Amino acid sequence: MTIHGYPCDVCGVRDPAPIEVTRHYTKGEPIAVCRNCGFVYASWRPSPEEIAKAWATQVFSGKFEDGQYTARGIPAVRARHVYAAEFIHGTVSLSGQDTVDIGAGEGVFLQMLASPEYGAKPFGIELSEPNCRLLKEVELPCFNGTVEQYLASPGARVHGFDRATVIWTLENTSSCRSMMEGAHNLLRDGGYLTVATSSRILVPFKKPLHYYLNPLVSALHPFFFSANALHNLFTNACFKVEHVNRFIDTDYLVMTGRAEPQASRPALAKDDWQDVIGFFERWHEETKKHYAGA
């Protein structure tokens, strides 16, 4: 893969400070924090086309018997899907709502939303062709490609959905700003987008740092969200945030925003970049102290 440098997806400034302790977990290439707004990201990463290809052909290749990642049958994955579904349904309701899941994967979450318990009308956008075949096998309509490709395709339902979900996917894109803007273009005015992730920078950490980071971070997982950073991304993409889970109690950060014609553009809710570096330094020390082989 060819690695490219990118500015901050939240504020657009190209001024990353390396988080030096992360070199221990990423084969020497550290993740960075934006000196302007405190967003944590891999400033050097592959092109959008290369990231899309890697997810479609390497991670979700369909060769599940060879140890490839699969969301089916893993209790921890089902637990977070249930949590997200309950949060969405309990705040903005899914009943009878045209709902698009961006990065639908194997369709496990979308199938859950379409069940009688939630009653959504489902549609999936998914990069992997094998995954799209799985979706069609369980009669879930889908588009094979990126959200940008779907919006440019004939018959795309531009501003045609009531609900959109991005579930543990925003952190795995090449441009989280582009995905948020794409989600806005999928939704009717007043429709709702929910993003769920497990990144919760600057709140108490609950796992060792070598479980949080890995050598593929800059290639396939370039973004790490605080509540402030995610809120800023919603605002930049013309969403008004209305619901946020009590993330300090869980491993999840879940946020829902209402699509508006124009963003109010309030001042960014910044994280102090030096505090972020200090947080990772403490996390590194705790990992070394309490986990063998870190």
Q: Looking at the domain assignment, is residue 13 inside a domain?
A: no
Q: What percent of the chain has pLDDT over 90?
A: 64
pLDDT of 217 > 70? The answer is no
Separation CA 43–CA 53 (nearest Å):
20
Concatenate the DSSP letters of all residues of 113-171 into one string: HHSTTT--EEEEEES-HHHHHHHHHTT--EEES-HHHHHTSTT--TT-EEEEEEES-GG
For the beta carbon of residue 202, count every other beta carbon within 10 angstroms.
Answer: 18
Query: Among 111-125, 179-193, 211-225, which stretch is predicted with the lowest mean pLDDT?
Result: 211-225
Q: Contact, 19 vs 30, CB < 8 A? A: yes
Q: Give the confidence band of 293 by pLDDT, cuts at 50, 70, 90.
A: low
Res 111: pLDDT: 96
- Between the alpha carbon of residue 235 and those of residues 158, 231, 255, 257, 269, the distances in Å are 20, 6, 12, 9, 10
Which tops the pLDDT comparison, 66 or 275? 275
Is 3 part of any domain? no
Backbone angles phi, psi at 181, to 5 degrees: -65, -35
Cα 125 off chain centre by: 14
- What value does the mean pLDDT of the chain take? 88
**pLDDT confidence of residue 213:** 84
Would you say residue 134 lies in a domain? yes
143 pairs with which residues across the strands?
Answer: 125
Tell whether 20 is covered by a domain. Answer: no
Q: Which helix (H) or strand (E) holds 33?
A: strand 32-34
* Per-residue pLDDT, 178: 93
Q: What is the total count of domains within the chain?
A: 1
Write out pLDDT tens, residues 119-152. Answer: 999 999 998 888 899 999 999 999 999 999 999 9
* pLDDT tens-place string over residues 50-95: 766 776 666 555 544 444 556 677 788 889 999 999 999 999 999 9
Question: Quick one: pLDDT at residue 172?
Answer: 86
- Judged against a pLDDT cut of 70, whether residue 255 lies above it is answered with yes
Residue 21 lies in a domain: no
Residues 6+ apart with CB under 8 A from 280: 19, 21, 22, 209
Q: How far apart are CA 164 and CA 193, in angstroms?
A: 5
Does residue 36 lie within any of the structural domains? no
Q: Is 208 in contact with 287 (CB distance < 8 Å)?
A: yes
- Residue 16: enclosing H or E segment and its boundaries? strand 16-18
| Domain assignment of residue 212, yes or no | yes
Helix 176-186 and helix 227-236: axis angle, to 10°? 50
Give pTM, 2 decimals: 0.91
d(CA 54, CA 269): 33
Q: How far apart are CA 203 and CA 246, in angstroms?
A: 11
Compute the average pLDDT of residues 172-200: 94
Spatial distance between the Cα atoms of 194 and 245, rounded to a whole number of angstroms: 11
- What is the per-residue pLDDT for 264? 66
Which pLDDT score is estimated for 64? 44
Question: In 10 A of CB 212, how many CB atoms?
Answer: 19
202-216: pLDDT as tens digits: 888 778 988 888 655
| Domain region containing 136 | 47-290
- Find the CATH number of the domain harbouring 104: 3.40.50.150
pLDDT band at 294 (very low <50, low <70, confident <90, very high): low
Q: Which strand (E) or helix (H) includes residue 89?
A: helix 75-91
Q: Where residue 28 falls among pLDDT bands split at 50, 70, 90?
A: confident
- On whether residue 41 sits in a domain, the answer given is no
pLDDT at residue 56, as a whole number: 64
